[in-house]
Protein backbone atom coordinates (compact mmCIF):
# COMPACT_ATOMS: atom_id res chain seq x y z
CA UNK A 1 0.00 0.00 0.00
CA UNK A 2 1.31 3.45 -0.95
CA UNK A 3 1.58 5.89 1.93
CA UNK A 4 2.12 9.61 1.37
CA UNK A 5 4.27 9.87 4.51
CA UNK A 6 6.52 7.06 3.23
CA UNK A 7 6.92 9.00 -0.02
CA UNK A 8 7.83 12.15 1.90
CA UNK A 9 10.44 10.23 3.89
CA UNK A 10 11.91 8.71 0.72
CA UNK A 11 12.15 12.11 -0.95
CA UNK A 12 13.86 13.46 2.13
CA UNK A 13 16.31 10.54 2.26
CA UNK A 14 17.28 11.05 -1.40
CA UNK A 15 17.05 14.84 -1.31
CA UNK A 16 20.62 15.53 -2.42
CA UNK A 17 20.64 12.78 -5.05
CA UNK A 18 17.49 13.38 -7.10
CA UNK A 19 15.84 16.52 -8.40
CA UNK A 20 12.82 14.87 -10.05
CA UNK A 21 10.04 13.12 -8.15
CA UNK A 22 7.50 10.91 -9.89
CA UNK A 23 3.93 11.03 -8.64
CA UNK A 24 1.89 8.17 -10.09
CA UNK A 25 -1.73 7.25 -9.57
CA UNK A 26 -1.26 5.34 -6.31
CA UNK A 27 0.64 8.17 -4.61
CA UNK A 28 -1.67 10.76 -6.14
CA UNK A 29 -4.70 8.98 -4.70
CA UNK A 30 -2.99 8.72 -1.32
CA UNK A 31 -1.72 12.29 -1.14
CA UNK A 32 -3.68 14.24 -3.74
CA UNK A 33 -2.65 17.68 -4.91
CA UNK A 34 -1.15 18.35 -1.49
CA UNK A 35 1.78 16.00 -2.03
CA UNK A 36 2.45 17.57 -5.44
CA UNK A 37 2.51 21.05 -3.91
CA UNK A 38 4.78 19.89 -1.08
CA UNK A 39 7.36 18.44 -3.45
CA UNK A 40 7.32 21.55 -5.63
CA UNK A 41 7.77 23.73 -2.55
CA UNK A 42 10.74 21.56 -1.54
CA UNK A 43 12.37 22.51 -4.83
CA UNK A 44 11.66 19.24 -6.64
CA UNK A 45 10.57 18.97 -10.22
CA UNK A 46 7.40 16.88 -10.23
CA UNK A 47 6.82 14.28 -12.91
CA UNK A 48 3.04 13.77 -12.75
CA UNK A 49 2.73 10.32 -14.30
CA UNK A 50 -1.03 9.81 -14.54
CA UNK A 51 -0.95 8.65 -18.18
CA UNK A 52 -4.15 10.60 -18.58
CA UNK A 53 -6.45 9.68 -21.45
CA UNK A 54 -9.85 11.27 -21.90
CA UNK A 55 -11.80 13.63 -24.13
CA UNK A 56 -10.08 16.84 -25.24
CA UNK A 57 -11.84 19.12 -22.74
CA UNK A 58 -11.03 16.93 -19.73
CA UNK A 59 -7.38 16.62 -20.75
CA UNK A 60 -7.24 20.39 -21.24
CA UNK A 61 -8.51 20.96 -17.69
CA UNK A 62 -5.98 18.51 -16.26
CA UNK A 63 -3.17 20.40 -17.98
CA UNK A 64 -4.40 23.72 -16.59
CA UNK A 65 -4.38 22.27 -13.07
CA UNK A 66 -0.88 20.84 -13.61
CA UNK A 67 0.36 24.26 -14.72
CA UNK A 68 -1.19 25.87 -11.65
CA UNK A 69 0.43 23.24 -9.41
CA UNK A 70 3.89 23.92 -10.82
CA UNK A 71 4.30 20.44 -12.32
CA UNK A 72 7.30 19.99 -14.64
CA UNK A 73 6.35 16.88 -16.66
CA UNK A 74 2.97 15.32 -17.33
CA UNK A 75 2.14 12.10 -19.19
CA UNK A 76 -0.78 11.45 -21.50
CA UNK A 77 -1.94 8.14 -22.92
CA UNK A 78 -4.53 9.69 -25.21
CA UNK A 79 -5.44 10.20 -28.85
CA UNK A 80 -3.66 12.85 -30.86
CA UNK A 81 -6.63 15.23 -30.75
CA UNK A 82 -6.45 15.29 -26.94
CA UNK A 83 -2.70 15.78 -27.14
CA UNK A 84 -3.17 18.84 -29.34
CA UNK A 85 -5.68 20.19 -26.82
CA UNK A 86 -3.15 19.65 -24.03
CA UNK A 87 -0.39 21.44 -25.93
CA UNK A 88 -2.70 24.37 -26.63
CA UNK A 89 -3.76 24.55 -22.95
CA UNK A 90 -0.14 24.47 -21.80
CA UNK A 91 0.64 27.60 -23.83
CA UNK A 92 4.01 29.21 -23.15
CA UNK A 93 4.46 27.71 -19.69
CA UNK A 94 7.35 25.42 -18.69
CA UNK A 95 5.19 22.29 -18.43
CA UNK A 96 6.50 19.45 -20.62
CA UNK A 97 3.87 17.19 -22.19
CA UNK A 98 4.91 13.60 -22.84
CA UNK A 99 2.90 11.00 -24.75
CA UNK A 100 3.07 7.32 -23.81
CA UNK A 101 4.07 5.23 -26.82
CA UNK A 102 3.73 1.65 -25.62
CA UNK A 103 3.73 0.53 -22.00
CA UNK A 104 6.84 -1.43 -21.03
CA UNK A 105 4.52 -4.09 -19.58
CA UNK A 106 3.21 -4.75 -23.11
CA UNK A 107 4.65 -7.12 -25.67
CA UNK A 108 3.74 -7.67 -29.32
CA UNK A 109 1.37 -10.38 -28.13
CA UNK A 110 -0.55 -7.70 -26.20
CA UNK A 111 -0.76 -5.55 -29.33
CA UNK A 112 -2.09 -8.51 -31.30
CA UNK A 113 -4.66 -9.25 -28.59
CA UNK A 114 -5.97 -5.70 -29.02
CA UNK A 115 -6.24 -6.13 -32.78
CA UNK A 116 -3.08 -4.36 -33.90
CA UNK A 117 -1.06 -5.92 -36.71
CA UNK A 118 1.95 -3.65 -36.16
CA UNK A 119 5.18 -4.77 -34.53
CA UNK A 120 6.23 -3.04 -31.32
CA UNK A 121 8.71 -0.83 -33.17
CA UNK A 122 6.13 0.09 -35.82
CA UNK A 123 3.52 0.93 -33.19
CA UNK A 124 5.97 3.08 -31.23
CA UNK A 125 7.06 4.88 -34.41
CA UNK A 126 3.40 5.63 -35.22
CA UNK A 127 2.87 7.12 -31.75
CA UNK A 128 6.09 9.13 -31.91
CA UNK A 129 5.24 10.66 -35.29
CA UNK A 130 1.79 11.59 -34.00
CA UNK A 131 3.29 13.12 -30.86
CA UNK A 132 5.68 15.23 -32.93
CA UNK A 133 2.90 16.47 -35.21
CA UNK A 134 0.72 17.30 -32.19
CA UNK A 135 3.45 19.44 -30.65
CA UNK A 136 4.46 17.16 -27.77
CA UNK A 137 7.73 17.84 -26.00
CA UNK A 138 8.58 14.16 -25.97
CA UNK A 139 7.46 10.60 -25.36
CA UNK A 140 7.57 7.82 -22.80
CA UNK A 141 9.25 4.82 -24.39
CA UNK A 142 11.13 1.64 -23.56
CA UNK A 143 14.89 1.74 -23.96
CA UNK A 144 14.49 -0.88 -26.67
CA UNK A 145 12.91 1.66 -29.02
CA UNK A 146 14.96 4.75 -28.15
CA UNK A 147 17.54 4.41 -30.92
CA UNK A 148 14.81 4.28 -33.57
CA UNK A 149 13.01 7.24 -31.99
CA UNK A 150 16.21 9.24 -32.22
CA UNK A 151 16.33 8.54 -35.95
CA UNK A 152 12.87 9.98 -36.58
CA UNK A 153 12.54 12.70 -33.91
CA UNK A 154 13.84 16.27 -34.21
CA UNK A 155 16.68 17.57 -32.02
CA UNK A 156 15.57 18.40 -28.50
CA UNK A 157 12.67 15.92 -28.54
CA UNK A 158 12.61 14.29 -25.10
CA UNK A 159 12.65 10.54 -24.53
CA UNK A 160 11.78 9.44 -21.01
CA UNK A 161 12.30 5.75 -20.30
CA UNK A 162 10.54 3.63 -17.66
CA UNK A 163 10.97 -0.10 -17.11
CA UNK A 164 14.53 0.39 -15.87
CA UNK A 165 16.10 -2.59 -14.14
CA UNK A 166 19.76 -2.89 -13.09
CA UNK A 167 21.67 -5.86 -14.47
CA UNK A 168 20.77 -9.08 -12.69
CA UNK A 169 17.55 -7.67 -11.22
CA UNK A 170 14.15 -9.19 -11.88
CA UNK A 171 11.97 -7.47 -14.46
CA UNK A 172 8.76 -7.68 -12.38
CA UNK A 173 5.84 -6.91 -14.75
CA UNK A 174 8.00 -5.13 -17.35
CA UNK A 175 8.26 -7.21 -20.52
CA UNK A 176 10.61 -4.78 -22.26
CA UNK A 177 12.92 -3.76 -19.42
CA UNK A 178 16.36 -2.25 -20.07
CA UNK A 179 19.34 -1.47 -17.83
CA UNK A 180 20.12 2.17 -16.96
CA UNK A 181 23.33 2.20 -18.98
CA UNK A 182 21.83 0.61 -22.09
CA UNK A 183 18.93 3.07 -22.12
CA UNK A 184 21.19 6.12 -21.80
CA UNK A 185 23.55 4.79 -24.49
CA UNK A 186 20.55 4.38 -26.79
CA UNK A 187 19.67 8.04 -26.33
CA UNK A 188 17.25 8.40 -23.40
CA UNK A 189 17.17 11.81 -21.72
CA UNK A 190 15.57 10.75 -18.44
CA UNK A 191 14.97 7.42 -16.71
CA UNK A 192 12.00 6.53 -14.53
CA UNK A 193 13.18 4.28 -11.70
CA UNK A 194 10.76 3.06 -9.06
CA UNK A 195 10.95 -0.32 -7.37
CA UNK A 196 14.72 -0.84 -7.80
CA UNK A 197 15.03 2.10 -5.40
CA UNK A 198 11.88 2.09 -3.28
CA UNK A 199 12.13 -1.62 -2.41
CA UNK A 200 15.91 -1.67 -1.98
CA UNK A 201 17.36 -2.48 1.42
CA UNK A 202 19.40 0.71 1.09
CA UNK A 203 17.64 3.19 -1.24
CA UNK A 204 20.53 5.68 -1.16
CA UNK A 205 23.04 3.04 -2.17
CA UNK A 206 20.75 1.78 -4.93
CA UNK A 207 20.19 5.32 -6.22
CA UNK A 208 23.90 6.12 -6.19
CA UNK A 209 24.71 2.96 -8.15
CA UNK A 210 22.11 3.77 -10.81
CA UNK A 211 23.28 7.38 -11.09
CA UNK A 212 26.89 6.25 -11.51
CA UNK A 213 25.89 3.81 -14.27
CA UNK A 214 23.91 6.56 -15.99
CA UNK A 215 26.81 9.01 -15.80
CA UNK A 216 29.23 6.47 -17.28
CA UNK A 217 26.82 5.93 -20.16
CA UNK A 218 26.35 9.68 -20.71
CA UNK A 219 30.13 10.08 -20.81
CA UNK A 220 30.43 7.24 -23.33
CA UNK A 221 27.72 8.48 -25.68
CA UNK A 222 28.79 9.75 -29.08
CA UNK A 223 27.96 13.42 -29.82
CA UNK A 224 25.29 12.37 -32.36
CA UNK A 225 23.34 10.45 -29.70
CA UNK A 226 23.32 13.25 -27.13
Residue-wise pLDDT tens digits, 50-84: 999 999 999 999 999 999 999 999 999 999 999 99
pLDDT of residue 118: 86
Number of compact structural domains in the chain: 2
Phi, psi of 217 (to 5 degrees): -70, -40
Given a cut of 80, whether residue 222 has pLDDT beyond it is no
∠ at Cα 85 (163, 45), nearest 5°? Answer: 45
b (16+ CB within 10 A) / e for 29-60: ebbeeebbbbbbeeebbbbbbebbeeebeebb
Residues 119 and 202 reside in one and the same domain: yes
**CB-based burial label for 90 (10 Å; 0-12, 13-18, 19+):** buried
In a domain, 226, yes or no: no
Residues 94 and 108 reside in one and the same domain: no
Q: Region of 99 please: left (phi>0), alpha (psi -120 to 50) or beta.
A: beta
Residues 63 and 119 reside in one and the same domain: no
User: Mean pLDDT score of the chain, rounded to an integer?
Assistant: 91
In a domain, 168, yes or no: yes
Residues annotated as part of the active site: 51
Given a cut of 70, whether residue 174 has pLDDT beyond it is no
**Last-in-domain residue among 100, 120, 137:** 100
Residues 112 and 78 reside in one and the same domain: no
Within 45-100, strands assigned E span: 45-52, 73-76, 96-100
In a domain, 183, yes or no: yes
Residues 23 and 67 reside in one and the same domain: yes
Residues 87 and 125 reside in one and the same domain: no
CB atoms within 10 A of CB 116: 15
Percent pLDDT > 90 in the chain is 77
Residues 111 and 211 reside in one and the same domain: yes
Domain span holding position 147: 104-219
Phi, psi of 161 (to 5 degrees): -115, 120
Tell if the pTM clears 0.85, that is, is over it. Answer: yes
**Spatial contact of 99 and 136, defined as CB atoms under 8 Å apart:** yes
Residue-wise pLDDT tens digits, 136-169: 999 999 999 999 999 999 999 999 999 898 875 5
Residues 95 and 167 reside in one and the same domain: no
Give the CATH number of the domain where residue 184 resides: 3.20.20.70
**Spatial contact of 191 and 215, defined as CB atoms under 8 Å apart:** no
- Which residue, 133, 181, 176, 177, is CA-closest to 157? 133
Residues 109 and 211 reside in one and the same domain: yes
Residues 58 and 151 reside in one and the same domain: no
Amino acid sequence: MIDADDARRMVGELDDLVSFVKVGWALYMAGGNQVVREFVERGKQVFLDLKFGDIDETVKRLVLVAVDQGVSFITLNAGFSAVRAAVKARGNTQLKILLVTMLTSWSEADLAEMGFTLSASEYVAFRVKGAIEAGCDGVIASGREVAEIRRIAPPGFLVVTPGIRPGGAGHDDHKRAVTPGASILAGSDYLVVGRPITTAANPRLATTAILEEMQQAFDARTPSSR
